[in-house]
Every structure is written in structure tokens, then in C-alpha cells.
Amino acid sequence: MITLGCRLNLAESETIRGLVGAEDMVVINGCGVTNEAMRQTRVAVRRARRDRPGAEIVVTGCASEMDRTGFAAMPEVDRVVPNAAKLLPATWGAFPNRKPARRHARAFLAVQNGCDHACTFCAIPSGRGPSRSEPIGRIVAAAADLVAEGAREIVLTGVDLTSYEGGLGALVEAVLVGVPALPRLRLSSLDTIEIDDRLFDLITGEPRVMPHVHLSLQAGDDLILKRMKRRHLRAEAVAMVGRLKAKRDIAVGADLIAGFPTEDAAAFANTLALLDDCDIVQAHVFPFSPRAGTPAARMPQVAPASAKARAAQLRAAASERRQAWLAAQIGTEHRIVVEKPGDRGHAENFAEVRLADAAWPDQAAKALPADATALSATTSGTIGAIRSVRITGAAPDHLIGISA
């Protein structure tokens, strides 16, 4: 199983993994969010054929949905499965001896799919279709099953998660009440304009909901936001982050696009400043990628070289902020869910923490105080355990810790 793209794809891949029992099959669940993602999906297909020359290569996901003819014509591809069919047992019915899916300490649970909005840059609705939500009862039952199978943290995912029918807050509350054995619940990308009071109160006041939000911001300039057909203005996003952080120490991540059509230096500066104004410590930055058939592809374009340069500038500034945030956590304590391969996990604020005895020994040696004893191999990381960890060091993209 090869997965590209979003957390929803990760969740769907786990389901597919449990439906496919053939040893001689490789399924590529591809991403179509950008032209680069489409290219990477094709690269993954070719690599899979080189690595597994005798296997059946099956392609699914948004990439193949957006260009089914193109993927079907690739000589490496044996079959293309539509997005609408990829989770149906009948799609994989030729393989009755199915193996159970391999579960993880952190599990992704898809609760919503598709999108009814029409952001001018986005081609995902053509790959995912209109918004639709899984029933609450089915989600609660699935969450209970995941916990019974060893999940200690569940991440609720969707294309447009905050558009969940009936309210995302109601769903979060139902999962927390219906699955009392679930220690940690995390939410994937949120739209700030749809964080209502019920959801706000759960994010800021419920300890089982992790103090971490990833926001679909995209830009920090009002004119660009309007041309993107986003539903919020800059001040509204900044205000929501301020409200959240006033109630709880919450880590903020965000999606940002550089070089959107008509973006000038001043508009880009407003997006760059959003890193500070929203205290963003984990940014996913994309240079604008014009998708055929979208309104943004017909707008006056920023030169690709300029878009890439601005994206690089955004990434550098975001990396500097992240490194400062990680360094500031040295000396603090966090609780992590130990994940595969057993020497690392994620803190509640979603910072990756690596245990000093098992990973990055050179950095660990520098990070440990003189009188500290590294964790033994047997205590460092039973996968699925929730451990208290004292942070002793920080690398550019993760923290280093020892048992608290």
C-alpha cells in the first residue's frame, strides 16, 4: 500500500489494507491537490512497477479520479479504481482471504468526505464530490473498535471536516461520551469560520481533545482571500486564534499558498506576517499550482519562479519559528503516545518527541544532563503506551526526551 496526500487518504488506506488480501498487489492511493502531487503519484506508480515487476498495480485516489484516462493509459497500471468504489468490499472481492488491517497507536478515522465550497484554486471537489458525512453512531462504533484494537489516539479526518453535518462539536462530544476508554482525540484541518461555540469549548476546555489545531488559512491578505473565494477575512482568522490561545496553550498549524494569481509584494507580506500574527508553529506551504478548469487558472498568474521563491521564503520563516518553539520546550514535560518503531511519539501539542536512548544517539548524548540515565530499551517504548517525557533537547524538526 502506497499512500500520498492528506490524512483522509491515510485513513482510507488503512481500510483498503484490510480489504485487500492479495500478496501480489500494490495499491497506490494517490493525491491530486496540486500538479506536483499528480506528478508524485505517477512517480510512485513507476517506482512500484520497478520494485514489484510481477505485481498487479492498482491506482486509486484523487489523482486517478481527476485523470482516469491518463492513469489507465500508463503501461505500469493494471487497474484504476474510482474514489467512490475504493472502500467497497466488492471492489476487492476477488480476494476472499483478506488479512486484518494492521492498526497503529495513532489511528485516522474518516468522518466526512467531499466539499460543497468552491475555492477558486481547488480541484478536490472534482475528485471527491459533494460533502457528505458518516452517521454519528457509525463513527462512535468505529472509534470504539479502534480503541479495542489498541489505538490510544484517534484523529478525525475529512476533506472539509468542520462542515460535518450536525456540527463537528456534536460529533466530538459523541465520540468522547461514547468511547470513554479513548485517551486522546485529535482533529485534522479546520476552517476557522466554522469553529462554533460548541466546538470552541471542546477544543479549549476538554483535556482529551488535544491542544493543537491545523487551520485552513491559505493566505493572509483580504483581497487574495476574496479572490480565492475563501469565507473568512484575515482579521477573523487572527481573532479566532487569539480566542483559542487565550483559553488554552494551543499549538497552531496552517496551510498557506504563495504566489496566488494577482498576489503582489504587499499581499505576500501580509501572508508572511500571518505566521507571527497567528503564532503558526507548523506550516504547510505550497507554491500556487494552477489546476485546469479552476477559476484561478484563468486569473493573471504570478511568475512560477516568483511563486516558488515566495514559498521558499515562507518555509524558511516558518522553520525558524518552529525551531524557536521547539527550543522553548526544553525542560518541560509532555505525555506522548509511543508509536512505531517504539522510540518516538507525538506530544499533545503534536510536536514529535524521540526517546533519547533509542533514537539520534549523538543528539541524545548532548541533550542528557550529566546525572541522567537514559531509558532502557525495555522501557523506552512499548508501542501504544502513553508516557510522561521530560524534554532534554531540540532538533530542527523534533524534540528529544527522557522518561519523566
Residue 205 reports pLDDT greater than 80: yes
Of 129, 128, 127, 123, nearest to 288 (Cα)?
123
- Dihedral angle computed from the Cα positions of residues 11, 66, 218 and 350, in that order, rounded to the nearest 10 degrees: 20
Q: Is the pLDDT of residue 40 over 60?
A: yes
Residue with cell 475563501: 230
In the prediction, which pLDDT does 123 show? 85
Q: Which three cell numbers stand for residue 293?
A: 478548469
Confidence at residue 357, expressed as pLDDT on a 0 to 100 scale: 62
pLDDT at 359: 41
What structural domains does the chain harbor? Answer: 2-92 (3.40.50.12160), 106-327 (3.80.30.20), 333-403 (no CATH)
What integer is the mean pLDDT of 180-187?
A: 97
> Are the beta carbons of 130 and 158 closer than 8 angstroms?
no
Q: What pLDDT was estimated at residue 1? A: 86
pLDDT above 90: residue 281: yes
Per-residue pLDDT of 222-252, as tens digits, reads: 999 999 999 999 999 999 999 999 999 999 9
The predicted pLDDT at position 22 comes to 67
Share of the chain above pLDDT 70, in %: 91
Instruction: Kindly list the distances between the CA atom of residue 6 and the CA atoms of 122, 126, 211, 292, 398, in Å, as whole numbers in the listed order.
Output: 14, 16, 20, 21, 21
Q: How large is the average pLDDT for residues 124-152? A: 90
The whole-chain average pLDDT of the chain stands at: 88
Q: For the ranges 99-113, 164-178, 247-261, 319-333, which has the lowest average pLDDT?
A: 99-113
Q: How, if at all, do strands 251-258 and 184-187 pair?
A: unpaired
Residues 6 or more apart whose CB falls under 8 angstroms from that of 386 comprise: 152, 183, 184, 335, 336, 337, 338
HSE (side-chain half, CA atoms, 13 Å) at 28: 31
Three-state DSSP at 242 gives: helix
This prediction's pTM: 0.83
Strand order across the 106-110 sheet: 106-110, 153-157, 184-187
Q: Helices 265-277 & 304-327, crossing angle to 10 degrees?
A: 20
Question: Which grid cell is 186?
Answer: 485529535
Per DSSP, 303 falls in state P
- Measured over all CA atoms, what is the biggest interatomic distance in the chain, rounded to whole angstroms? 63
**Residues 340-376: tens digit of each pLDDT:** 777 889 999 999 999 886 543 333 333 333 333 333 3
Rounded Cα distance, 34 and 47, in Å: 20
If residue 286 lies in a helix (H) or strand (E), which one and from where to where? strand 280-287
